Amino acid sequence: MSTTRPVRNRRAFAAVLALLLAAASGLVVSMRTAEAAGVGLQPLAVVAAEGTATVESYRYNGADTYQNLDAYYDTSWFGGAGRPAVIVIHGGSWANATKAASASASKKFFDEGFAVFNMNYRLTAPTGSHAGTPWPGQRTDVSLAIQWVKANAKSFGVNPNRVALYGFSSGGHMAIASSVYYRNVRAAVSVSGVLQPHRVMDVAVNGSVGADVRGTGVVVLSQWAALAVQCPYYPTWAECNSRWNSFKPETYFSSAAPPFYAMMGDKDTVVPPGTLGAIHYWATKKGQEHVTVMVPGAAHDERMLTNDPTRWAAMITWLRSKTA
């Protein structure tokens, strides 16, 4: 059964969507069911709808209530060749926040004609009754969401071979880390991504690496990174070394991996700005297709992309070419 809430115009739709997304993680209402072989499904609720445009919440895996997402799609897409899809991954140092933080970016991708799947995932920090899930649980959840989207692609008017990932901050790390590890999407986009967690640790422990210097933001992020890996940063300890290597996207860079688009600000006080140049070096060395964009004067802020029409248009043009 499908239950919809009519909204009279786009402005009202956006306002209702923004309000409901903030509370979506708490809604458990039996609504529209999508079928997929081999994928656990627990339908949640319709978040908002206007005409043929709809946002609905689903579980992409039945094991944990955090494994849910909001699907943005348009029923007018049904029966066509299939739209490209973007799975959006929120930030929060792998330990905080929810998909509500990514509602604005999700709406922008939807307005560009992409189906969007804005996902929650198991967090590394204890939250409520959840004990916390260490890395690579977050990467696993991205893979589960990808599998769910592909298995249910027809139900959302999506072409399962045209899926990409997008994320901000730790979400940007997860987007690229998942794409190069699983190699089951067409492309990944990262904004202010923590693309070298070990660099964060080096700066926090040693005080500086090149032009990157220790500050409160870097120190706090280093603590969250250590929690994610569940291991102190001792590179000479074999067990920790293997865990940290699995946390580094560059470990899996390859000419066979999907391309990525990474943007950072040179005034970022959370993620060391030297990350971008280092990532460019390793991607080039390993033949990994990529684009890196450094934004002068920008801090650790997703709006350097989403609120700048020129940068947004350039990224969208790139993403369309990779998901064509």
Where residue 197 sits, what CATH number does that domain have? 3.40.50.1820
Q: How far apart are CA 240 and CA 55, in angstroms?
A: 41
Say what the pLDDT of residue 221 is: 98
Is 317 part of any domain?
Answer: no
Mean of the per-residue pLDDT values of the chain: 87
Is 251 part of any domain?
Answer: yes
Q: Which two tokens stand for residue 186?
A: 């067409």
Is 173 part of any domain?
Answer: yes
Say what the pLDDT of residue 47 is: 66
The helix (run of H) or strand (run of E) holding residue 57 is strand 53-59
How many separate domains does the chain show?
1
More confident residue, 45 or 267: 267
Closest CA to 127 of 82, 95, 159: 95
Closest CA to 10 of 82, 100, 84, 74: 74
Say what the pLDDT of residue 46 is: 63
Say what the pLDDT of residue 45 is: 61
Give the residue-averaged pLDDT of 205-224: 97
Q: Enter the DSSP assignment of 192.
A: S
Is 3 part of any domain?
Answer: no
**Residues composing the chain:** 324
Is 193 part of any domain?
Answer: yes
Give the residue-averaged pLDDT of 237-256: 92
Is 321 part of any domain?
Answer: no
Q: Which of 47-56, 108-117, 211-220, 298-307 has the lowest mean pLDDT?
A: 47-56
Q: What percentage of the chain has pLDDT greater than the value 90?
A: 76
Is 226 part of any domain?
Answer: yes
Is 250 part of any domain?
Answer: yes
More confident residue, 58 or 10: 58
The sign of the CA dihedral 155, 158, 163, 168 is negative
- For residue 62, what are the domain limits? 10-312
